[in-house]
Amino acid sequence: MADNGFRPDQDLTRMLAEFRLPRMPDLDTLAAAQRRNLEALSAANRVALEGAQAVARRHMEILQSAMADMTEAMSGLTAQETPQAKAARQAELLKATYEKAVANMREVADLIQKSNAEALALLNKRFTEAMDEVKQLMAKQG
C-alpha cells in the first residue's frame, strides 16, 4: 500500500482542534432582553384590550342612542297626518338613521384601527430594539 498522506486519526484530531464552539452569550443580557420582549408584548396586549373595551363601550352607547331614537320615532308616527306627510317623514327618518349608522360604523372602525396601530407600534419598536441588541451582542462576541 502506498502512503498518500491520509491519516484519518490525525485529520480528525486536527479538525476537532480547529473546531470552535460559539461563545455563550451573556445570560444576564439575554434574560433582560427577554424581559423587555415580554413587557412589550404585555403593553401591546393591554393597549389592544383597552381598545376592545372602548369599542364595546361605544357600541353600547350607540345601541342606547338607537333605542332612544327609535322610541322617539315611533311616538312621532302616531300623530294625525296625511299619508303623504307621514311617508315624507318616514323617508327623512330613514335617511337620518342611515347616515347616523354609517357615521357610527366609521367611528368604531377608527377606534379599532387606532387601537391596533398603537399595539403594533409598541411591538415594532421592541422588535427594532431587539435587533439592535442582537447586533451589539454579536459585535461583543467578535
Give per-residue pLDDT as tens, 128-140.
999 998 888 778 7
Looking at the predicted structure, is the pLDDT value of residue 90 above 60?
A: yes
| C-alpha cell recorded at residue 133 | 441588541
Grid coordinates 393597549 are at which residue? 47
pTM: 0.65
pLDDT of residue 8: 63
pLDDT of residue 49: 95
For residue 108, what pLDDT band results from cuts at 50, 70 and 90? very high
Burial (0-12, 13-18, 19+ Cβ within 10 Å), 100: middle
Tell me how far the alpha carbon of residue 9 is from its chain's centroid: 57
Residue 39 CA to residue 116 CA, distance in Å, equals 17
Residue 120 CA to residue 92 CA, distance in Å, equals 42
Grid coordinates 307621514 are at which residue? 86
